[in-house]
Copies of this chain bind each other. A is one copy, B any other.
């Protein structure tokens, strides 16, 4: 698959954008006209730079408001077009995007449109230019891609084809199957964009909220499947208008973009294989459509991995580890000793393993001191760390080095978008981890303590990298995004995106903290699941644990909402436990006080309860805020 990206997706100057696209590995780019108009580079220099960078210049865009106009305006539009065709010759470009008229269309006649597009195609032919005509979702008369294609067929000129943009098609819920019947000679260009499903006017949606494939909710694999089956083999190019990407680091956004196309390529191949197996498609009636290898577009695949089987460990980094050690001990964790060569400690409780790394956190925290504990790494159990790491690297996940000695297990690791280190570990069927033998020489091995596992981990995401993180965990770690939630806190709304495996063995919560409270001051946490939370809480209390103090008002409200048995309610209040219930089951949990910017949670899931106690999250935020104010 030939990969492309429109320069409008990225921040910076045209030069910076081109360089970033080359570094990220794109085959070609679309020149978004304002990027050229505002650039000091002459067109000839742009052409040479692209050639030197190994980038093809695939599409000049956009040319607006051409069709359905009166005669005078047509003359002016053709003059305007010719100026751009001449410019394209200097750029060495041969395809221009012409989108359906929004602003100046005044005559609604397909015959007239065809005649006008025919004139444009003839002029383009004189200049060796191909016109890719696209139906904008909000075009005045032409807003449907099949309509645009019919006009292209009516004109039937070798220099006129159509451009298919997934946003304009999927935002309107058009059926994409008819694409298969298009002649590949008439599809001049394909643009892909994803988007969250929002209920708002389509123009604002398009201009601000597009995201890279895999970061939204459109079925792009199906769209691409139909495009491939039509026989198209040209560039598949990203055109993403997004307020955040416009202001993020250009090289990093380009990598995020490239990752999305690599992922989309794989998903498209899978869709084609599945559709072929199911015998759907446009083959002769009853004949299964041929597999993807039969089409002109070649689709590369990636090393295949299953979703992770669970958390292997979580690692907290701190220069001063005293507070962490105290809390873990009070929670019931056992100290399993220090590593034989590294400055790290292992603590465990059942299969929940926490590593304390005795080093300052990587990104210094001015507010609470560099020594302040922070979540630094997560280990996941996968079937084959080598294959999973190869997949992650093909998806351009940055590898992180981890020093190891002979006879020590080598972890495959890479950095998540928020810089948390992700390690791929060899899972075992009994939930143990071989590397633990590297710890605690001279210590007795832990005897069977209380059963516990890591239930979920909450990580704060920088606002510039939230969408990137969703795609990262989806593509590299095979986690599935769950429905989005918003939680009020005293300092703003916290947007919360759960990523999880189908069996919920791994639950990872990505929190987008309010802008005034980004990573450095936002609190992250690790939650452990136990079988009997009340007993666990009593044990913790006996060991002197400092619980997050829940206000009495909460228990009154809980009683009003659920009508709990008085004894049970009294127990909850006595132990600072929080409670939630839904149609699937019940949830009990409590929080520790915060150590640095980390705290811990203990949970008990009853029945098939699948949530996180969201109604209780505002209480937790408010109490933590109150503590922060008064410490």
Partner of A551, one of B38, B83, B551: B38
Complex: A549 Cα to B560 Cα, angstroms: 68
User: Is B83 touching A625 in the complex (CB atoms < 8 A)?
Assistant: no
Please encode chain A, from 521 to 552, with 1 for each CB lying within 8 Å of some chain B CB and 0 for all others. Answer: 00000000000000000000000000001011
Provide the residues of chain B in CB contact with A198, threshold 8 Å: 200, 204
Provide the residues of chain B in CB contact with A11, threshold 8 Å: 490-492
User: Is B84 touching A560 in the complex (CB atoms < 8 A)?
Assistant: yes
Given contacts A33-B557, A34-B618, A87-B556, contact A517 B199 (CB under 8 A): no
A residues 493-545 touching B (CB-CB < 8 Å): 493, 514-517
Write the nearest CB–CB distance from A200 to chain B, whole angstroms.
4
Complex: A204 Cα to B41 Cα, angstroms: 44
Provide the residues of chain B in CB contact with A491, threshold 8 Å: 11-12, 246-247
A residues 24-54 touching B (CB-CB < 8 Å): 33-34, 36-43
Complex: A233 Cα to B582 Cα, angstroms: 43
User: Is B247 touching A38 in the complex (CB atoms < 8 A)?
Assistant: no
Extra pairs beyond A41-B551, A246-B514, A247-B493 (18, CB < 8 Å): A13-B626, A13-B629, A34-B618, A36-B553, A37-B551, A37-B553, A38-B619, A38-B621, A38-B623, A39-B553, A39-B622, A83-B556, A87-B556, A198-B200, A200-B201, A246-B493, A247-B514, A247-B517
Provide the residues of chain B in CB contact with A626, threshold 8 Å: 13, 40
Q: Does A172 contact B (CB under 8 A)?
A: no
User: Is A493 touching B243 in the complex (CB atoms < 8 A)?
Assistant: yes
Provide the residues of chain B in CB contact with A618, threshold 8 Å: 34, 37-38
User: Is B515 touching A34 in the complex (CB atoms < 8 A)?
Assistant: no
Complex: A39 Cα to B549 Cα, angstroms: 11
User: Is B557 touching A13 in the complex (CB atoms < 8 A)?
Assistant: no
Interface of A is mostly: helix
Residue of B nearest to A249 (CB): B516
Complex: A516 Cα to B12 Cα, angstroms: 13
Q: Does A111 contact B (CB under 8 A)?
A: no
Write the nearest CB–CB distance from A42 to chain B, whole angstroms.
7
User: Is A39 touching B490 in the complex (CB atoms < 8 A)?
Assistant: no
Q: Does A554 contact B (CB under 8 A)?
A: yes
Provide the residues of chain B in CB contact with A515, threshold 8 Å: 247, 463, 515
What are 27 A-B pairs at a CB distance below 8 A? Answer: A11-B491, A37-B553, A37-B557, A37-B618, A38-B619, A38-B622, A39-B622, A40-B552, A40-B553, A41-B551, A42-B552, A42-B553, A79-B560, A79-B563, A83-B559, A84-B560, A87-B556, A87-B560, A198-B200, A199-B201, A200-B200, A200-B204, A243-B492, A243-B493, A246-B514, A247-B517, A464-B516
Q: Does A293 contact B (CB under 8 A)?
A: no
Provide the residues of chain B in CB contact with A342, threshold 8 Å: none
User: Is A619 touching B199 in the complex (CB atoms < 8 A)?
Assistant: no
Complex: A480 Cα to B344 Cα, angstroms: 63
Q: Does A80 contact B (CB under 8 A)?
A: yes
Partner of A13, one of B463, B559, B625: B625
Q: Does A76 contact B (CB under 8 A)?
A: yes
Residue of B nearest to A486 (CB): B207
Q: Does A561 contact B (CB under 8 A)?
A: yes
Q: Does A488 contact B (CB under 8 A)?
A: yes
Complex: A619 Cα to B36 Cα, angstroms: 10
User: Is A12 touching B247 in the complex (CB atoms < 8 A)?
Assistant: no
User: Is A83 touching B560 in the complex (CB atoms < 8 A)?
Assistant: yes
Provide the residues of chain B in CB contact with A36, threshold 8 Å: 553
Complex: A208 Cα to B470 Cα, angstroms: 23
Given contacts A11-B490, A243-B493, contact A37 B554 (CB under 8 A): yes
Write the nearest CB–CB distance from A80 to chain B, whole angstroms.
5
Write the nearest CB–CB distance from A618 to chain B, whole angstroms.
5
Please encode chain A, from 138 to 152, with 1 for each CB lying within 8 Å of some chain B CB and 0 for all others. Answer: 000000000000000
Please encode chain A, from 181 to 200, with 1 for each CB lying within 8 Å of some chain B CB and 0 for all others. Answer: 00000000000000000111
Complex: A247 Cα to B488 Cα, angstroms: 10
Please encode chain A, from 612 to 631, with 1 for each CB lying within 8 Å of some chain B CB and 0 for all others. Answer: 00000011011101100100
In order of increasing CB-CB distance, the 10 nearest A-B pairs are A247-B492, A38-B622, A200-B200, A83-B560, A199-B201, A247-B514, A37-B557, A246-B492, A40-B551, A38-B619
Provide the residues of chain B in CB contact with A464, threshold 8 Å: 516
Partner of A619, one of B37, B80, B201, B560: B37
A residues 73-101 touching B (CB-CB < 8 Å): 76, 79-80, 83-84, 87
Write the nearest CB–CB distance from A494 to chain B, whole angstroms.
10
User: Is A39 touching B488 in the complex (CB atoms < 8 A)?
Assistant: no
User: Is A560 touching B80 in the complex (CB atoms < 8 A)?
Assistant: yes
User: Is A490 touching B12 in the complex (CB atoms < 8 A)?
Assistant: yes
Write the nearest CB–CB distance from A548 to chain B, whole angstroms.
12
Provide the residues of chain B in CB contact with A552, threshold 8 Å: 40, 42
Please encode chain A, from 375 to 404, with 1 for each CB lying within 8 Å of some chain B CB and 0 for all others. Answer: 000000000000000000000000000000
Provide the residues of chain B in CB contact with A560, threshold 8 Å: 79-80, 83-84, 87
Write the nearest CB–CB distance from A437 to chain B, whole angstroms.
46
Provide the residues of chain B in CB contact with A490, threshold 8 Å: 11-13
A residues 557-588 touching B (CB-CB < 8 Å): 557, 559-561, 563
A residues 228-287 touching B (CB-CB < 8 Å): 243, 246-247
User: Is A551 touching B623 in the complex (CB atoms < 8 A)?
Assistant: no
Write the nearest CB–CB distance from A205 to chain B, whole angstroms.
9
Given contacts A199-B204, A200-B200, A515-B515, contact A76 B37 (CB under 8 A): no
Provide the residues of chain B in CB contact with A83, threshold 8 Å: 556, 559-560
Write the nearest CB–CB distance from A274 to chain B, whole angstroms.
33
